[in-house]
Chains A and B, each alone.
Chain A
Amino acid sequence: MRSGVCSALPIVLLLGFLGCGTKNEARPDASLRSAVVVAIEGDVDSFNPLFAEDITAGEINDLLLPALVSSDFDAKSGQLNYAPLLARSWEYAHQHRDIIFHLVPGARWTDGQPVTARDVQLSFELYGDPEVASVRQASVDNLRPTSGNQDIRRGIEVKDDSTVVFHFVKAYAGQLFDAGLPILPAHIFQERSRKTLRTDPVNKTPVGFGPFTLSRWTALQEIVLQANPESVVPYPAKLSRLIFRVIPDYRTRLAQLESGEVDLVSGLRPEDADRIARESNQVEIISTPGRDYDFLGWNNIDTGTPAGSPGAKPKPHRLFGARNVRQALTMAINREELVHAYLGTHGQVAFGGISPLFRWAYNDSLKPLPYDPQRARLLLEQEGWKDTDGDGILDKDTMRFSFVLKVPAGSQLRTVVATAVQQQLRQIHIDMRIEQVERATFWQDVTARKYDAFLAGFSVPLQMQLEDLWGSDLDKHPFNLTGFRDARIDKILAAAGILSTETDGAALWKEFQKIIQEEQPCTFLYWINNIVAVNRRVHGTHIGVLGTNHRAWEWHIDTVGQAGAASSHKPADAPFASE
């Protein structure tokens, strides 16, 4: 007994000490009030925009290394607008194929070197160099007159220190978008070996010229950005510090948001967003639609048996090869109910494959296929699918309507939705088995077309880029995951690719959606909003389609003097903000 008490005592004391010790230090001191703390789920992967894949990393790099132009999404027209950033102005030449950028004078890297046109040239050279293997390599494709590697140097011509000319191979809608990559310091990167650049320690200590500089990066813990007082691109950040705290657990991010320890959390679940919007007057909820969707991919082609010669037309899939079957599947799934139950007001039923963000291209006259299990049964019967042996599952020529749906593991929403879909298909006598697959394995299987059906999600790029997803040449477009091939679609994609103004393609894209709607190569489930919660003391945010930390140099904190001015800084690109 005595020994027991003796050993328990120190623990009680320890706990007591810790318990008492906490009370005197309520919240970090006053200097931190001028800092904004953003909670992020995982650490960033790289401070070099050549290699950063992570979304937050990309956003932070934009703050450290601004691009020539800054963009804003105009929700009314559904298009990107461009504004000067490192380029003070630009003009077109040579039938819109060349753009001449005039750089802002006086910009300096944090190590004192001036920012010149040479930096711009080298940056794009690096983006385009296959040796570097940048993830943004595709953006530079239209600056290469031929397929040679060294051509980018000719594609981007340095006129003088503050003038640089981009020679595009053609005039097209996304020229400024492609020219909007972060600029890297040439004086640091020109001597580095390009082959080993990815692992170069220089990536950990970025030299920038933007409104913020990196003050500290503690792996797995936090990233601290500091205002760069010297910056002229566009000006030193209004916040003295911007801190990104890595908090992997969702509940904790939410709790810290509500207690005021962090100011900004993105990726809220709809029910939490609604609860916070109801309960908290400190936190504002901004729900941005249109970037992410989930869909059920049906394998349109038979990938089980070899196709014979490489150019041969693949055979249709035993189950999903027929259009009627795919339509029936969509009609058997109650998407309205799924959206209503799991997303509430933070989502909408998806169809047609084009984001409602692109107002000019979105086909309003189409309606999603209705939930109609009776009609679905009829359609299946027309295709010869009947339950002849009375086992409760449809069959046709000794083939049962039974398949496996692959779902990437780890997403609660997708698992729940897959289970709901399974039950709904059961009602029309289709046997779907769910197989959750670890993420890396999932993408390996799906891109190798080793599947019958899958449930996955995609994010929409801000430029209309649909060729990768729908082009008929499956070898060239491995991300045409369903293997859907249609000559009409190919024609539309080809025609849209050479337009110089994006909106000219409106009619083409509306036709595109009609075809996809008819053919149902996959069942689009829903668009999911990105829900961001931000403390009301932070003003001047531009949370929306372009991300959470977009133009964070304009953020400022509510102090007495600024309170009035702050209200005018409404998020320009977030008209969907739910108050």
Chain B
Amino acid sequence: MKRSSHILLIAIVAVISLAQYRLIESSLASFAAWCVLEASHQAPFGTYWNPALFEHWLAGIAWVIGALWLMRSSFASLRARMGRIRLALVIPPAQKSIRGASSRFICMVGYIALVSPILTPVNPNVQGNLVTTRLLPPLSTGYVREFLDPTPSGTDSAGRTLRVYTAANHYLLHRTTFLSANIHADPSAASVRNVVREFPVFFPFGTDDNARDVFSRVVAGTRVSLGIGLTAALGALIIGAAVGFAAGMSRGFLDGVLMRLTDLFLAIPGLFLVIGVLAFVGQSIAMIVVVLSFSGWMSIARVVRGEVLSLREREFILAAQMLRVSSWRIVTRHLLPNLRPVLLTATVLQFANAVLGEASLGFLGLGIQPPTATWGSMMGEAMGYLSSAWWVGVFPGLLLATVLVSAHSLGEHLASTADAAATDQTAS
């Protein structure tokens, strides 16, 4: 990493840390107080647990770790500049290859997903004044007024830790924001009481039809979209690989049954499946992931089966069989490593499929429900005004494309490393 970009990164982190100071502090305080409360055994374990806090704790901790890491590595690079050792583990050696960049990018997106509550300048679900702040183009500016009702009374008698805990949670969960392009001319802004702070805000990606900050939504959507995409892709991969592998290895009757089953699933119209399942079982993130996994495993199964069928006729497998190598060893040492490139390609594509599938579900109104931001739902929402307000959908689209390209380069890199390893092992 170049020194200048390093300094820039530190500056960004410092600025955000200052701007979100109270949020970070509350997150950490909340977590610390929770630990103390649960450890003191005054109440049964889990009394103070609130799932809504978890993301804040995670974000706060991840943020601090990230900042520390950054500081440490910058000292390290300083030392390196002075001719000392370089912490190769912490900062990968400066590779100007796409692979280095893409792995770094993937790590960054993953990190963004973790710390998204801190990175979003405004709450991604908060809408501004609909008349003045709706569909603003990128690089517009606006004003944020953050307000918070007074902490509920009745906690004075409680212990000090509990008070800290309550106050921190109150800030984390109950602060609301008022957003407007022109707050001083906004009559409804005057009605807002208990203002915590006010600051100008910048909409780098513009605002959407509900006058929400697209940048914040893209950042917040990272977590949901990556989560859904990865889980559904893995689900499809597991089902598909299992079915394909079983079919390819067994041949004969089981092969026929499994492959006809695959064909049957391919022939069921996706729309029908989705409406049927979601109308019957009800909508939830878990169900959506299941539906997406179940509509995507068929192509993986077919590819895997084909690959297995052709691999097992290959010389090295035949040779291994002749040498009476155990079939478990053949499978794990020779078949699976050779399947890796195909599986990686299929998984990356399946990831894209799942994210887009979530978008088309949203298009039917059956996806993740508003106001939760996901890349897919943002792209779906944008469909209505692709020509008049392109920014609503283009930014999540760009991010998705970049993630896919990076994930794939990384996958290829890993595959080629794995391939080399596999070849070594086969040779030895």
Contacts and interface: CB of A to CB of B under 8 A. Distances in A.
A–B interface present (Cβ within 8 A) = yes
A373 B191 contact: yes
A374 B170 contact: no
A392 B172 CA distance: 11
28 contacts: A334-B130, A334-B188, A337-B129, A337-B188, A340-B130, A341-B134, A371-B188, A373-B191, A388-B152, A389-B152, A409-B364, A409-B366, A410-B364, A415-B370, A420-B210, A422-B370, A423-B126, A426-B176, A427-B176, A433-B369, A434-B370, A435-B369, A436-B366, A438-B275, A438-B279, A438-B365, A438-B366, A441-B279
A563 interface: no
A419 B188 contact: no
B120 interface: no
A405 to B, nearest CB: 10
A338 interface: yes
A422 B371 contact: yes
Interface residues of A, number: 38
A44 interface: no
Interface in B373-422: 381, 384, 387-388
Q: What 9 A-B pairs have minimum CB-CB distances, sorted nearest first? A: A409-B365, A436-B365, A341-B130, A390-B152, A392-B174, A419-B370, A412-B384, A340-B131, A423-B127
Contacts of B151: 390
Contacts of A419: 127, 210, 370-371
A200 to B, nearest CB: 30
A440 to B, nearest CB: 9
Interface in B123-138: 125-127, 129-131, 134
A278 interface: no
A410 B173 CA distance: 32
A162 B426 CA distance: 99
A416 B209 contact: yes
Given A340-B131, A373-B191, A441-B279, A410 B370 contact: no
Interface of B: 125-127, 129-131, 134, 151-152, 155, 166, 170, 173-174, 176, 188, 191, 209-211, 275, 279, 283, 364-366, 369-371, 381, 384, 387-388
Interface of A: 251, 271, 334, 337-338, 340-342, 371, 373-374, 387-392, 407-410, 412, 415-416, 418-420, 422-423, 426-427, 433-438, 441
A391 B174 CA distance: 8
Given A251-B387, A412-B384, A420-B210, 9 more contacts: A341-B130, A409-B364, A423-B126, A423-B371, A427-B176, A434-B369, A434-B371, A438-B364, A438-B365
Nearest to B193: A374
A337 B170 CA distance: 29
B365 A423 contact: no
A444 B209 CA distance: 30
A437 B369 CA distance: 10
A410 B365 contact: yes
Nearest to A250: B384
B224 to A, nearest CB: 16
A422 B126 CA distance: 10
B306 to A, nearest CB: 24
A337 B151 CA distance: 30
B92 to A, nearest CB: 37
B330 to A, nearest CB: 37
Nearest to B386: A251
A412 B152 CA distance: 38
A435 B283 contact: yes
Contacts of B173: 391-392
Given A412-B384, A438-B364, A420 B130 contact: yes
Nearest to B362: A436
Nearest to B383: A412
Contacts of B365: 407-410, 415, 436-438
A387 B152 CA distance: 8
A217 to B, nearest CB: 27
Most buried by A among B151, B152, B170, B211: B152
Question: In this complex, which of A374, A390, A434 has the most chain B Cβ atoms within 10 angstroms of its Cβ?
Answer: A390
Nearest to A336: B131
Nearest to A388: B152
B42 to A, nearest CB: 19
Contacts of B131: 337, 340-341
B369 A420 contact: no
A433 B125 CA distance: 13
Contacts of B211: 341
B130 A337 contact: yes
A420 B275 contact: no
A267 B388 CA distance: 18
Contacts of B166: 390
B186 to A, nearest CB: 11
Contacts of A435: 283, 369
A334 B187 CA distance: 12
